Amino acid sequence: MALKSYKPTTPGQRGLVLIDRSELWKGRPVKTLTEGLTKKAGRNNTGRITMRRRGGGAKRLYRIVDFKRTKREEAVVSRIEYDPNRTAFIALVQYSDGEQAYIIAPQRLAVGDKVVSGDKVDVKPGNVMPFSGMPIGTIIHNIEMKPGKGGQIARAAGTYAQFVGRDGGYAQIRLSSGELRLVRQECRATVGAVSNPDNSNQNLGKAGRNRHKGIRPSVRGVVMNPVDHPHGGGEGRTSGGRHPVSPWGKPTKGARTRNKNKASQKLIIRSRHAKKKGR
């Protein structure tokens, strides 16, 4: 999908760059594949804010997306749709028995294309297979971390990983962040890269468009008072101290927070923070 820019007939249109979604389905989603979505506004189950700067936004219907792709019949792509709950587009597929499902739409998947899930299938965008039957070098997305749990890695717009090798009962995959990690060969993944790669090139043009998405303004700590933030206070404009910290005094802006004793730590062969070769 291409980007479209606007003539600055209003201040909000000056610099506005959006995704051209003219080729997507213009109707409502399939009712049986949707459910109501309650606004959380960044609160957890005890009602406390665990993520700041969330709230408001347009009302949404949640589209039930099939991340597992366990059905082994061939399915035909009926249409490609916009999904307000994710950055990628979704595709409605219909199986030969009439059952419908939403899947994450990969790049170069068109209406009328056929997708299938199996132990060893063609390397075509949208097809699903385990790493045990996949050729090395395949570009993949929607990757399982545990067999049968459903895809968890590389689901956002434009993301992908590459299957680079086998190691015992594990498959080696290189993520777009540069991380090299292992997953079991029984885990399944979808062939291709995720649709809507231009999502990161959008310019929303005005704060109101972010408010429609449920994102509230973020206020810098250095402009707050000392009672509100460790960076606050001072005469005139101050930089906020030597070590940047969060409102609760934890180091931030690049400080590592990952737990080194995490169980999946041993499955990471090369961290995304490791220096790139040739630099």
237: left (phi over 0), alpha (psi -120 to 50) or beta: beta
Q: Which residues contact 153 (CB under 8 A, 6 or more apart)?
A: 141, 142, 143, 144, 145, 161, 173, 175
pLDDT in tens, the chain (279 residues): 689 999 999 999 999 999 999 989 999 999 999 999 999 999 999 999 999 999 999 999 999 999 999 988 889 999 999 999 999 999 999 998 889 999 999 999 999 899 998 888 888 898 999 998 889 999 999 999 999 899 999 999 999 999 999 888 899 999 999 999 999 999 999 999 999 999 999 999 999 999 999 999 999 999 999 999 999 888 888 887 778 999 998 998 888 888 989 988 999 989 888 876 544
Q: How far apart are CA 126 and CA 139, in angstroms?
A: 11
Compute the distance between CA of residue 63 and CA of residue 253 in angstroms, rounded to an integer: 34
Domains and CATH numbers, the chain: 3-200+259-270 (2.40.50.140)
pTM: 0.86
Neighbours of 46 (CB within 10 A): 6
Beta carbons of 126 and 113 less than 8 angstroms apart: yes
Listed in sequence order, the residues at least 6 apart from 17 whose beta carbon sits closer than 8 Å to its beta carbon are 3, 4, 5, 201, 202, 203, 205
